[in-house]
Structure 1
Amino acid sequence: MTGTGGTGPKSPRERYRAQVRAEIKQHAWEQIATAGASALSLNAIAKRMGVSGPALYRYYAGRDELITELVTDAYRSLADTLRPAAEQGADLAALAHTVRAWALADPQRYFLVYGTPVPGFRAPAGTTAVSDEIMAMLLDACAALPAAEPAAPFAAHLAERWERAGGHPAPPAALHRALSFWTRVHGVLSLELAGHFTGMGFDPAQLFAAELADLLSR
């Protein structure tokens, strides 16, 4: 018996389709690493695979569908990397170092989700579900820290926008800390991965640790 809902055994045709889609994504990542996501081309991938462009469109309707799946895979990879640490009670610093290790392991994957947006591409709403999982883990860690109330104007802004936190029970102060943490982590990581620290004579890992220590001391 073959499954059509994703839980049962797959037919040979379904397995073949999954294999081809995986191969397409592998070529897409290679293209991104070489020329960036903005240069992603299904026709170029088809040429690399030795098939016609129209044949490839049987697996992906277009570039945006392929990028959407790559973005979702990247978010899922980070969420799956963070979850074991979060479930074991990792603090905010440990989660930050986990994010850095994930980013250094594959900078192009990192830049696809946290770098410059791909021109003309708008990610569907469904891709935010996985990023919400990531933020929920950060909010859990922030809620476990001693509360530090944000400045009044920003507290009011947080209260007004609270629904954007996905209903997480953490107070606005924890959300403020999570946002500060997330922006500073990505600020340092983006500069490091883009090579802006090259030749400056210091260890980026030590800068990252110093930024975390400063953030957590506030």
Structure 2
Amino acid sequence: MAEAQQGPRARYREQTRAEIKDAALRQLADGGVAALALTRIAKDMGLSGPALYRYFASRDDLLNALIRDAYDDAATAMGVAAARSEAAAHSPRERLRALAAAYRSWAVGEPHRYLLIQGSPVPGYVAPADTLERARAVLGPFLPVFAGGVPGAGVAPVVAQMAAWLGSDAGVGDWVTAYATDTAGDPAAKARALAGAVLAWSQLHGSVGLEVAGQFAGMGHEGDTLLAAQTDMLADAFALA
């Protein structure tokens, strides 16, 4: 009897949690993280404060859930783009372009969620430990793109530092191998892959972050045009075909 009741209860709980998260996302879209207020969410949903806290113990607990969801959705978008590019037998340069475009598309389409995970940190907030793995899942598809590249002199110092990082952190090497399987047993290829992915992330965050924050308004260019130019320059730096 208890098991028969557990199914509907569990579904109701997950449905209510989803509704709370949807309400929180609307607040984020309207006013950013500063606008997030559990008491207001409870009022809008017709719940008492104590009732809402049965689903999320605190504002930070709710933020944790929103951040996990955002990373997971971004990782899914990147994974889909990577799979499509691979199926189309794209060259490394074309794959890089496709991944960069997918990242920008997700961020521009979900600006409040992008800013939640890549914007200014919330004062006093400490992200959950599993955030790192979720962030790596977003960046992972870039790793195989650069593994076979030929880094030029301009990016050689980054490659050298990534090689040192790999030597001091086995977990990083495992992450690279999980996405760029051809780098197994090849430290130099791992260093190239990691350097390219880190440089791609920094360029993406810089360009996309400025666009999402509205900093390109009135500057006479489109965000996708700028990102494509930056992506090609990075491809040139690694001599990607």
**TM norm structure 2:** 0.81
Matches within 5 A, 1:175-186: 175-186=194-205
Change (3 A) 1:101 1:47: same
Matches within 5 A, 1:46-85: 46-85=42-81
Distance (Å, rounded) in 2 between the aligned partners of 1:182 and 1:2: 49
Question: 2:156 matched to which residue of 1?
Answer: 151
Query: Please, which runs of 5 or more residues in structure 1 have no aligned partner?
Result: none
Matches within 5 A, 1:6-21: 11-21=7-17
Distance (Å, rounded) in 1 between the aligned partners of 2:62 and 2:3: 24
Check whether the contact 1:132–1:166 (CA below 8 A) recurs between aligned residues.
no
Tell me, yes or no, if structure 1 residue 125 matches structure 2 residue 129.
yes
Check whether the contact 2:107–2:114 (CA below 8 A) recurs between aligned residues.
yes
Matches within 5 A, 1:12-31: 12-31=8-27
**TM norm structure 1:** 0.89
Say which SS state the counterpart of residue 130 (structure 2) adopts: helix
Change (3 A) 1:166 1:119: farther
What value does the CA root-mean-square deviation take over the aligned residues?
2.2
Code of the aligned partner of 1:161: W
Aligned match of 1:102 in 97, 102, 106? 106
Distance (Å, rounded) in 2 between the aligned partners of 1:216 and 1:185: 13
Distance (Å, rounded) in 1 between the aligned partners of 2:151 and 2:17: 47
Please state how far the C-alpha of 1:132 moved relative to its aligned partner.
Answer: 1.9
Question: 1:215 matched to which residue of 2?
Answer: 234
Percent identity between the aligned chains?
41
Say which SS state the counterpart of residue 122 (structure 2) adopts: coil
Change (3 A) 1:165 1:61: same
Please state how far the C-alpha of 1:87 moved relative to its aligned partner.
Answer: 2.4
Please state how far the C-alpha of 1:10 moved relative to its aligned partner.
Answer: 6.4
Aligned match of 1:165 in 161, 168, 172? 172
Change (3 A) 1:10 1:180: farther
Tell me, yes or no, if structure 1 residue 113 matches structure 2 residue 117.
yes
Distance (Å, rounded) in 2 between the aligned partners of 1:104 and 1:34: 15
Q: Any idea what the Cα deviations from partners look like across 1:29-78, whole Å, max 9, x if unmatched?
A: 01111121133111111111111111100001111111011001001101
Check whether the contact 2:42–2:49 (CA below 8 A) recurs between aligned residues.
yes
Please state how far the C-alpha of 1:12 moved relative to its aligned partner.
Answer: 1.0
With a CA cutoff of 8 Å and minimum separation of 6, indicate the structure with the bigger relative contact order. 2
Question: 2:186 matched to which residue of 1?
Answer: none
Code of the aligned partner of 1:147: V
Q: Count residues in correspondence.
A: 212
Distance (Å, rounded) in 2 between the aligned partners of 1:11 and 1:74: 27
Code of the aligned partner of 1:42: L
Check whether the contact 1:72–1:130 (CA below 8 A) recurs between aligned residues.
yes
Question: 2:187 matched to which residue of 1?
Answer: none
Aligned match of 1:174 in 193, 202, 208? 193
Question: 1:198 matched to which residue of 2?
Answer: 217
